[in-house]
Structure 1
Amino acid sequence: MKGLYCRAGLSDAEPKFVIQEASLPDVIGTHQVRIQVKACGLSPLDLKVLESSQNVYVHDSAVYMTKQYDVMSYPRLPFPGILPLDSPFSGLCDVIDVDEHYLVQKPEKLSSVCAVGALRDGLCAYTALHTHARMAAGHTLLVMDGASPFGLMCIQLACYHGVKVLTTSHSPQKHTFLQQLRPNVQDPLVARVIPVDNGSSDLLPVVMEETGGLGVDIVIDSGVRLQEEEESEEAKLLPHKHDIISVLGVGGHWVTSHQDLQLDPPDCRLLFLKSASVSFLNPEVWTASSAQQGRYLRILPNQIQSVCLAPICPSRPEPEEAVPRYEATVAMETVQLHQKKKAVVQL
């Protein structure tokens, strides 16, 4: 059988993705099950995380592509699961061995393609809102780039738990899409959509207007600007770190996915005065750390159920058809270069 693997490039060169032959062991390990892969979701591979982890699986100068999110069948029942960093199998193999503790039963009304498209983003959203921010009914949440798959999952989970949601939009099309999100005819899903594509800095005054000058309880970003002047157009759409701290209320929580965040003394002083906190969102920590295995086994079933109970379909706002396996290499390269948010391969 064949699977998708990553060959890390030299120095700063981009990694190469190739289809290679793979084989199963003759004996299944303890607490493992042999399952057939039906579909696989692809996400960017963070080589820095792999290099820093002691659980990296390296063989013949190839780093195994294990950061894939699979929907698998075991026997006759569909089970979504996430392969850990030390898994020797590619998620695009026809049949793989995986620990039974990494699987959870898929609800009937959630399709396989929809499950793989939402599993990683749903886990990240659940971790950010419940584990880091301690979300509760009555809180106010600001989600940056709410039209992204991760931002949309945050909005769905927050609204399901009675949280008031504000979000930003990066284009007129995304702004219209977010305004039209409604769980029913009368109530909008998002209380306020703040456009940031016009270069204006209306984030702080709009947030203060919506919160009565108190600020929000939770901010979740998808990247931040460390400097006021950024060259790329994409970076200009990201909020500046000082703006995020400014919109936080007293006792607020800022959950960031920016790995190299640097806070200056004035930023730390403002966080201290607000008694606010900063948390780093690393979704790989659940499968990389055995000390967190118990919490992960509780979070994964809760997250997959929350996807079903969310007020809107998790495949939006970027519904895409699953691609065949012979297009997996091209699809993974576009995802790795961040030209595409996600991709689903159907076997």
Structure 2
Amino acid sequence: MKGLYCRAGVSDAEPKFVIQETVLPDVLGSHQVRVQVKACGLSALDLKLLDDVGIQRDLIPVGREVAGVVLQVGAKVSFFQPQDEVVGILPLDSPCSGLCEVVDIDEHYLVQKPEKLSPVCVAGALRDGLSAYTALHTHARMAAGHTLLVMDGGSSFGLMCIQLACYHGVKVFTTSHTPQEHTFLEQLRPSVAKVIPVYKDQSELMALVMEETGGLGVDIVIDSGVRLQEKESQETKLLPHKHDIISVLGVGGHWVTSHKELQLDPPDCRLLHLKSASLTFLNHEVWTASSAQQGRYLHILKDMVEKMSTGVLRPQPEEAVPLYEATVTMETVQHHKRKAVVQL
């Protein structure tokens, strides 16, 4: 049985993705489930994070968001039976690649997959859906009547945030990065109150948000990256500046950031203090890196797939690629920080 693995480069060298033979143990663990994988989502590897949590291997398994069918269960497994359709995210220290035909995974990382939900759809949306739930429910504590600004609403993560917030009665504003994204997001109105085209003029963001909120600012801001310097590079020119985000926050607001190395200057901290606002870092890996809140994590996964099956959450469809294209596809995913789904 073959799986896809990453051979991390030395120093600044690019990581290499290779196909390796792998063998499952003959005896299944008492709480493990053996799953035949039907689809696997590919996301960019965060090698620095793996190093920070002490996971150092020559070969790192690739592909962790899986959907499949249960083949066999351990002696003490109580949640699943053979032939059950399941979805889940392999833990950070999993020895298995999600692109293996069969993987062993602890039952506490899996939930039942609704019949009407395709494996490709759920495997492609699992990571972004989990991030949206974590940002809005766990960190921002959103409630009906709140106002929310989602940066880059045309991304798969941004779209999940918009749909989840609208379902809970939150007034949503968002930004678009291209004319095509702007046209797409405008079709979501009136669910989305305002679409702000930052590709035209980044400086209009604060003025338009303040106009829409009567000068009060928004309760929640969720970004997909932040610009720390005034000087713009080609990669960051569409990202909001950190001071602009703080400026559009209302009193008692919550800023949820995806920027891993955010640095705030004393004036920024002072402005946050004056508004009694809070800043939270979004790390979607925290659920599988720690078992402290496993019950809440499973509740999130279960609620998310149910909302996807009923159409409340409608993720952007990912075109599935065959297994033989997985290596080339993963190189593209890692370089461009995009997503892909492999159908097995």
TM-score by length of 1: 0.93
1:279 is displaced (CA, Å) by 0.3
Does the residue aligned with 2:14 lie in a helix, a strand or coil? coil
1:20 is displaced (CA, Å) by 0.7
Distance in 2, matches of 1:225 and 1:204, equals 15
Aligned to 1:276: 277
Give CA deviations for 1:234-259 in whole Å, capped at 9, x if unaligned: 30000000000000000000000100
What is the aligned counterpart of 2:64 among 41, 57, 68? 68
What is the aligned counterpart of 1:192 among 175, 191, 194? 194
Structure 1 residues 124 and 218, CA gap change in structure 2 (3 angstroms): same
Distance in 2, matches of 1:263 and 1:128, equals 20
Does the residue aligned with 2:69 lie in a helix, a strand or coil? strand
One-letter amino acid matched to 1:19: I
Structure 2: segments with no counterpart, 5+ residues: 71-81
Does the residue aligned with 2:321 lie in a helix, a strand or coil? coil
1:207 aligns with 2:209: yes
Distance in 1, matches of 2:309 and 2:256, equals 24
Aligned to 1:141: 148
1:293 is displaced (CA, Å) by 1.9
1:146 is displaced (CA, Å) by 0.1
Aligned to 2:139: 132
Task: Provide the identity percentage.
Answer: 74
Aligned to 2:79: none
Distance in 2, matches of 1:189 and 1:344, equals 28
What is the aligned counterpart of 1:323 among 317, 321, 324? 321
Aligned to 2:293: 292
Aligned to 2:340: 343
1:253 aligns with 2:254: yes
What is the aligned counterpart of 1:94 among 94, 101, 113? 101
1:189 is displaced (CA, Å) by 2.2
Distance in 2, matches of 1:276 and 1:305, equals 33
1:157 is displaced (CA, Å) by 0.3
Give CA deviations for 1:192-211 in whole Å, capped at 9, x if unaligned: 00001123411111101111
Distance in 1, matches of 2:149 and 2:202, equals 18
Does the residue aligned with 1:332 lie in a helix, a strand or coil? helix
Distance in 1, matches of 2:56 and 2:288, equals 14
One-letter amino acid matched to 2:331: E
1:306 is displaced (CA, Å) by 2.8
Matches within 5 A, 1:132-171: 132-171=139-178
Q: Does the 8 Å CA contact 2:139/2:256 hold for their aligned counterparts?
A: yes
1:309 is displaced (CA, Å) by 4.1
Structure 1 residues 164 and 143, CA gap change in structure 2 (3 angstroms): same
1:310 is displaced (CA, Å) by 4.7
Aligned to 2:74: none
Number of equivalenced pairs: 333
Does the residue aligned with 1:323 lie in a helix, a strand or coil? strand
Does the residue aligned with 2:243 lie in a helix, a strand or coil? helix
Does the residue aligned with 1:298 lie in a helix, a strand or coil? helix
Structure 1: segments with no counterpart, 5+ residues: 183-187
1:304 is displaced (CA, Å) by 1.9
Structure 1 residues 252 and 309, CA gap change in structure 2 (3 angstroms): farther
Distance in 1, matches of 2:56 and 2:271, equals 42
Distance in 1, matches of 2:56 and 2:85, equals 27
Q: Does the 8 Å CA contact 2:166/2:172 hold for their aligned counterparts?
A: yes
Q: Does the 8 Å CA contact 1:2/1:20 hold for their aligned counterparts?
A: yes
TM-score by length of 2: 0.94
